[in-house]
Amino acid sequence: MWPPARRRSSCQLTHVCPGITAPPATTRHAHGHLRDATWPHVVDINEPWTYARGVGPSTVRQRTSTQAGQAVYSPLVLRIYDLYVLGFSCSLIWKCPAARLLRLYEEHVGRHHLDVGVGTGYYLKRARFRIGAPEITLFDLNPNSLEHAARRIAHYQPKTVEGDILEPNHLPRRYYDSISLNFLLHCLPDGGAGKWRLFDHLIPTLAEDGLVFGSTLLGRDLPLLRRQRLFMTVYNGKGIFSNQHDSPERLQAELQRRFQRVHIEQVGAGALFVASGPR
């Protein structure tokens, strides 16, 4: 069972909390959302690779850039994403149904919510929130995903921010009651300083009683089905996934390093997590 959802602060805010310094100047992107002028949005796809052994082929390229993991989300892919990923893959391949992930949103989204790695906005569109209409900020490196998700939940009037979650950000500090990371970690590169530093960039944005929740697919130390191993090998080879070193123990250790309260539930090849109380 998940820990019970908590009541959220009902304080209303337009852009930044009282006492929080406004972020640096932003520029208006062609797609209509804000892009922080100081963020290194363009990532050099020719940057060096490191190599490591992992699940699948004996030698797997270990990415250090977030570019490959998000580049696949073209407007065409986003139009079929819900059917293929959330319908076919979640249920039949990963055995982690989208309906179970939807409950994460319904149980844990707070009054001020940050969604990182927005996909198509499927869960935010379908969720029945206990706190009424949340104030939503969408954060993603891919402008196609941002535009698609923002259009889908336009009735919430979401803010959109384009940026790399593995780099420092200028999001408001001590503000968000909830932050979601759904099916994101397994797409982030494990090379360089590692994917887990995204939590170090997000923790300062959490409100005092805020929490982080999400899901990820694990590629190591699990009794994976043959078809699951096959798909993970293909996706890791193409750079869409980078989870050959992600195990249940690694996920738990990285969360417990940073949070006092951690709950993880294994559902098929997926791990669902809720973490609160930053250390």
Give the three-state DSSP class for 85.
helix
Q: Convert the pLDDT of each residue in 20-70 to its tens digit.
A: 333 344 444 433 444 443 333 332 322 332 223 333 333 344 455 555 556
SS3 content of the chain, % helix, strand, coil (to 5): 30, 25, 45
Query: Is this structure's pTM higher than 0.85?
Result: no
Residues sharing a CB contact under 8 Å with residue 132, sequence separation 6 or more, in sequence order: none
Query: Measured over all CA atoms, what is the biggest interatomic distance in the chain, rounded to whole angstroms?
Result: 54
Average pLDDT, the chain: 81
- Which of 8 and 73 is assigned the larger pLDDT? 73
Q: What is the pLDDT of residue 190?
A: 84
Q: Are 95 and 160 in contact (CB under 8 A)?
A: no
Q: What is the pLDDT of residue 183?
A: 97
Domains of the chain and any CATH numbers: 50-278 (3.40.50.150)
- Which of 247 and 3 is assigned the larger pLDDT? 247
- Pairing state between β 34-36 and 50-52: unpaired
**Cα 256 from Cα 108, distance rounded (Å):** 19
pLDDT at 124 > cutoff 90 = yes
Q: Convert the pLDDT of each residue in 97-117 to its tens digit.
A: 999 999 999 999 999 999 999
Locate 232 and state its tokens: 């993970």
Binning pLDDT at 50, 70 and 90, where does residue 6 land?
very low
Q: What is the pLDDT of residue 30?
A: 38
Of 232-236, 237-241, 272-276, minimum mean pLDDT range: 237-241
Q: What is the pLDDT of residue 67?
A: 57
Q: What is the pLDDT of residue 131?
A: 87
Q: Please provide the DSSP assignment of 15-62 as one string.
A: SS-TTPPPPPPEEE-TTSSEEETTS--S--TTSPPEEE--SSSSSEEE
- Which of 183 and 71 is assigned the larger pLDDT? 183
